Structures are given as structure tokens and as C-alpha cells.
Amino acid sequence: MDLTSRLILLTLLAFGFATTASAEYTETMAPNGPIKKVGSDYGLVDDNAKTNQSDVLQKAIDDVAALGGGRLVIPKGTYRFAGILLKSNVHLLIEKDTVIKPFWPEGTKAVVFNLDAERPSKKKQMTLEQEQAFIENVSIRGLGGRWIIDYSDRERQKGDGVRGILAKMVRNFLIADLDVKDNYSTYCGITLTPIQTDNETKDWPVSRATDGTVRNCRIFNASAGYGLTQLHGAQTVHFEDLYAEGGVTLRMETGAVGDKTAIYDITGKNIVNENGRCAVMCGPHSAMNGVVKIEGIKSIGSAFAVQIGSGGVKAKELINNPDAVDGIFAKGSYVKNIHAIFGMHGQVKTHAFLGIPEEYYDDLNLRWENKFFDGPSIGAVVDSSADQYDMIIENVTMEGFKYNADKPILTEADFPKGKWGAAVSKWKSDHGISGETDKQKNKKAKKKAR
């Protein structure tokens, strides 16, 4: 048995050849099934990501899919890909320490791996059959250890955006062993979303990322407005052993515009955030979400460990659906076993300024498009759901907090009264900071240059 075969066997043993008690992905990768190597069989070259080799990898995926599925090994190296479409019954095994950089021209939005069926880009050109098309029984995982998607060398620019993995019309999927090296870019590293169409047919077998597991994944230097995972549409998906430095680790903020937006039967375990916004965020907007059950949540120096938001209908949503109402998470949803450790480098949104103790004002730094402070942890859990829905919160502990140590669950009543905008403006004035945002400064500069 060669090294690759031994590593594959160890990978399968690690996953138990089948779903675990809490996971929703069912193993379909046969230990003795067909196997191809993208390097020796298809000519993939480790050129330190100098060229876009997406066509090489896509050809390999298409060929394995045509055989009925199998395993496809990406050898250790540094490559550049984008827009890769995974196909049913294909399992990507990416060797430990392999680095993938996105092919991402300036001013564009990119996705490295799409877990979705191929369909016309314009909705009006799609048939009902194309709308309902989906892939199934797929995985992207490490072989012998973690693999990497790296876009840390890109500065955030207007019009740019990148996602490592976008899962849409897929059933029975696994995403594992991924490290994302970010640089405060737009979008989350992994996004799960529904397909949005105008078709009223309700009996689709799949309409969003369904029956999946996202496990053993991390992101570094995540934007305060994004993070590791974003859920707009997902059903029976389990998340486990996730970590984010910055941003939000498990972002259940169902804010995509469209009546298919919602998540159902979501479970999570061991969700950690460090020096970010929070480990778990619940924000229903106008989605009627199902049950979510998350436990084992930890924040290290983040603004909060858990943020639970109220529902609220976006103006764009009302255009499409004038009858839209505030969203919810279904009865029985919970966040449990939460531990928050105080630190001074959390990503604190300016909206939460009134919750920052005055003692820390001189330590604040305004960053991330002037919308977030680099500042102190405020608390463990903040619950703004009011009476809109009931999220069960249990077993919350705190460490190192001077303020709010006796209030593991904060509500709006626990924050000082006042207008956060006026308070931020006063802080800027007191610290000699211009009231103008970077966007306003750039607009003035462009006008002056004309």
C-alpha cells in the first residue's frame, strides 16, 4: 500500500466510514473506489500559483464524475484556482499543507470551490429542471492534515470579494480540514446559501445546502463584518471544531434577500472565536428559521461570545415581498455551555459603543471602514431578541471581566441610555479624530482631483 492509499484509509477511519452521532454527512467515499491524481494523471504543476490552472482541475473532476465518481488527489504544492464546480460523487483529497490561491482579478468577486450544479447565470434563461438541479455525495477534505486557501496578500478594495467555498444546491457534503488565510476581505470563507428563483413550486428535494458537515476549519484575520461561515440557506448541517481569528465563527445571520432564505435543523459543537466580534451570531432578519442547537462556545478577547439579534425586514426584501415580517428562530433553539474570556482586542461595532466602559475609551482604535473599534470585550452573551422569539441560553461562564461579570446575559436594558452615534462623534472629537468616514474622504479627494 503506497503512502497516498494509507493516508486515504486513515482519513476514512477518522470519519468512521459513516456519519457520527451528531454529524449529518454520510460517508460515501469508497476506500477502494476509483482514484486519480491531478498531478501525475492530469499535469497539474506546482508553479507557486503563478498561473491559473482551474481548467486542469475542472477536467479531472469532470472525468472522475463521468466514471460515476471517485477520489481525486491534489498533491502538495501551491496552486491558483477559481470557479471550480464539484460534481456528484467526487471527493477532493487535498494533501497536507497544500496552498490554494484564488484566481481573482481586481474589482471582481471570486469563489474558489462551488458546491452547486451547473446552470445558466441568468435566471430568466433557466428551465425548471435547471433550477432544481443539484449535486450530491461530495467532499473536500485534507489528506494527512490541513490544507489552505490563502488570500492574505490582497488588500480589501471596493468591488472586490472572495469566498473559499460556496455551497448552494448540494446534498450530503463534507467540508473539512481547511485553513483560510484572510486579510479582512469581503465575504466569509465558507458560505451556505439557497437558490433564489421566482418559481412557486414547493416540493423540491433540495433548495439549499442540505445534509452536510463542516468540520475542523479555521480562518485568520477575518473582517469584523464577516468571518468563517455564513448561513443564508442550510438544512440538517452540523458544524464542529471551528475557529476564527476575527469576525464571526458561525454566522447564522440569514440576511440574503429572497423568500427561500432560511436555515433548519442546524447543530454545532466547539465553536471558538478569538479577538473578533463573536463566536456565534443569530440574526434572523425576515427569515422564518427552524431549530438551531449550538453548544461548546468560547470567545477569547472577542466583543462577545454570542450575539442574538432581533428580526427585521430589509427595505430590499419589502420590494420583493411586501408581506414580509420580522424573522425568528424556531422554538427549541438553544446556545449552551458558553465561556467568555476578557481581552482588549475584540472587534466592537460602533453601534455597541454605549456598552464600552469609559475606562477603556483611551485604548480604542477605530478600524474596519470606521464601523468597528479594536477594543475590549463587553460581555459573554448579548440578547436583543426581546419577545420576537425565544432562544434558550444555558451555562454561561466568564473570565477576567471587570465589568458585567455579574451579567452573563446582557439585554438592551443593561446598556446606558443614549444615542450611540452622538456618543461615537463625541469620542472622535475628544480624541482628535475627524468625523468623516474613509468613504467620505475618498469622495472629497476624487471631487477635488477633477
3 state SS of 130: helix
CA proximity to 187, closest of 256, 126, 235: 256
* Minimum mean pLDDT range among 224-228, 241-245, 293-297, 430-434: 430-434
Distance CA 117, CA 107 (A): 26
DSSP character for 311? B
292-319: average pLDDT = 91
pLDDT band at 128 (very low <50, low <70, confident <90, very high): confident
180-200: average pLDDT = 90
Residue pair 23/215 in contact by the 8 Å Cβ criterion: yes
Grid cell of 35 as nine digits: 482514484
Which residues does residue 95 pair with via DSSP β-bridges, in sequence order?
A: 143
Distance CA 176, CA 218 (A): 10
Distance CA 179, CA 218 (A): 5
CA proximity to 69, closest of 42, 36, 20, 111: 36
The model's pLDDT over 366-420, given as tens digits with 9 standing for 90+, comes to 998 889 999 999 999 999 998 899 999 999 999 999 999 999 999 999 999 999 9
The whole-number pLDDT of residue 436 equals 58
pLDDT band at 204 (very low <50, low <70, confident <90, very high): confident
- Whether 336 shows a pLDDT value over 90: the answer reads yes
The model's pLDDT over 219-268, given as tens digits with 9 standing for 90+, comes to 999 999 999 999 999 999 999 999 999 999 999 999 887 778 999 999 99
- Whether 282 shows a pLDDT value over 90: the answer reads yes
pLDDT band at 23 (very low <50, low <70, confident <90, very high): low
The whole-number pLDDT of residue 17 equals 42
pLDDT band at 79 (very low <50, low <70, confident <90, very high): very high
The whole-number pLDDT of residue 201 equals 64
What is the phi-psi region of residue 245: left when phi exceeds 0, alpha when psi lies from -120 to 50, beta otherwise?
beta
Percentage of residues in the chain having pLDDT higher than 90: 76
Q: How many residues does the chain have?
A: 450
Distance CA 300, CA 426 (A): 29
Show the beta-strand stretches assigned E in 122-232. 135-143, 147-150, 161-167, 170-176, 178-181, 190-192, 209-231
Pairing relationship of beta strands 170-176 and 178-181 according to DSSP bridges: unpaired
On whether the pTM is more than 0.75, the answer is: yes
The whole-number pLDDT of residue 18 equals 42
Domains, the chain, ranges and CATH? Answer: 1-120+131-187 (2.160.20.10), 189-450 (2.160.20.10)
The model's pLDDT over 354-370, given as tens digits with 9 standing for 90+, comes to 999 999 999 999 998 88
Distance CA 314, CA 286 (A): 8
Cα 382-388-393 angle, rounded to 5 deg: 40
pLDDT band at 314 (very low <50, low <70, confident <90, very high): confident
What separation in angstroms does the CA of 296 have from each of 194, 279, 393? 27, 10, 12
Distance CA 238, CA 262 (A): 15
Distance CA 302, CA 307 (A): 11
Distance CA 174, CA 299 (A): 25
* Minimum mean pLDDT range among 12-21, 323-332, 363-372, 431-440: 12-21
Percentage of residues in the chain having pLDDT higher than 70: 90
The whole-number pLDDT of residue 437 equals 52
3 state SS of 353: helix
Average pLDDT, the chain: 91
Task: Write the single-letter amino acid at 321.
Answer: N
Which residues does residue 170 pair with via DSSP β-bridges, in sequence order?
A: 135
Which residues does residue 307 pair with via DSSP β-bridges, in sequence order?
A: 281, 382
